[in-house]
Amino acid sequence: MLDIISEHGCFGGVQGFYRHDSRETGLPMRFSVFHPPREAGQLVPVLFFLAGLTCTEETFMIKAGAQRWAAHYGIMLAAPDTSPRNTGIDGADKDWDIGHGAGFYVDATQAPWEKHFRMESYVVHELRELIVNQFNADESRIGIFGHSMGGHGALTLALRHPDVYRSVSAFAPIASPTRCPWGRKAFSNYLGGDETPWQEHDASELMKRRSMPFPQGILIDQGLSDNFLQEQLLPHAFEQACLQAGQPLTLRRHAGYDHGYYFIASFIEDHLAFHHRILES
């Protein structure tokens, strides 16, 4: 059952916020959807946005300014929460980079996280199926993008499920989580001390074993005034992996831009145009 939290007129369409009981996480989950005007009369492509650490299903819809361009291109936008909430897990609210608000878009295998923290299965299967079944979304035209932790999620989920996603892009992604403090902390908690399984959730490691999985290209934007660039994000690792795999990549480095949503809002039109071109081809 889908509960409507609120719906608002927006650029000729509707911005909606919803809640449902999730079979994957075993808890209520919230998500948001922008319905473009043309959805009223036809199936439209859907673009999933995965947000970063501490964010919710509201952050992108409130801050990015994406609805104007989604209405223009006729693209549905969908954004899940970044983790299950109110899990009752001891310590889940202790640190901002692990637990609530920090699901890292993986299915946890370690206690106490494994019961509720099943974000990969939630995003790729349950939420996608719910949106296709409930709304006028075309399941043959699905793309994914994200920011920071969500950029990691977008790249890895696209590489792990190329049959689901036809297009992928990212803003300032955690491009090699096995090599940075954020990723190592999350993976050791969610996936355990053996680092072998970590490689399956690292976009740079996954890309090394692929052969041009997205022939129409991948788009990444990165601000050069981003405080997290050198220690946490490591875009050069993904750049080198794409070169090795023969994967077309447009990695744009922007002087003066930091890690926040002013940066995302500055280039969001380019990402919507990029996905529109691929999803309509």
Q: How far apart are CA 257 and CA 171, in angstroms?
A: 11
Catalytic residue, from 259, 271, 275, 276: name it.
259
For 106, the 3-state DSSP assignment is coil
Do the bridges between strand 137-147 and strand 167-171 make them parallel or antiparallel, or are there none, so unpaired?
parallel
Catalytic residue, from 226, 271, 275, 276: name it.
226
Q: Is 259 designated active site?
A: yes
Q: Is 226 designated active site?
A: yes
CA distance readout (Å), 272 to 1, 25, 34, 140, 255 = 30, 30, 13, 17, 22
Record the tokens describing residue 208, joined without a space.
Answer: 């090394």
**Phi and psi angles of residue 3, each rounded to the nearest 5 degrees, phi first:** -100, 130
- Phi/psi region, residue 46 (left: phi>0; alpha: psi -120 to 50; beta: rest), is beta
- Segments of the chain assigned E as strands: 2-10, 13-21, 28-35, 44-50, 76-80, 137-147, 167-171, 218-223, 249-254
Catalytic residue, from 32, 148, 169, 204: name it.
148
Contacts by 63-66, CB closer than 8 A, 24 or more apart: 63/261, 63/264, 63/265, 64/261, 64/264, 64/265, 64/268, 65/265, 65/268, 66/34, 66/268, 66/272
Q: Is 6 designated active site?
A: no
CA distance readout (Å), 105 to 52, 173, 181 = 10, 13, 17
With CA atoms as reference, report the closest residue to 149 among 89, 240, 80: 80
Q: How far apart are CA 77 and CA 276, in angstroms?
A: 12
Q: How far apart are CA 67 and CA 237, in angstroms?
A: 32
Which are the catalytic amino acids? 148, 226, 259
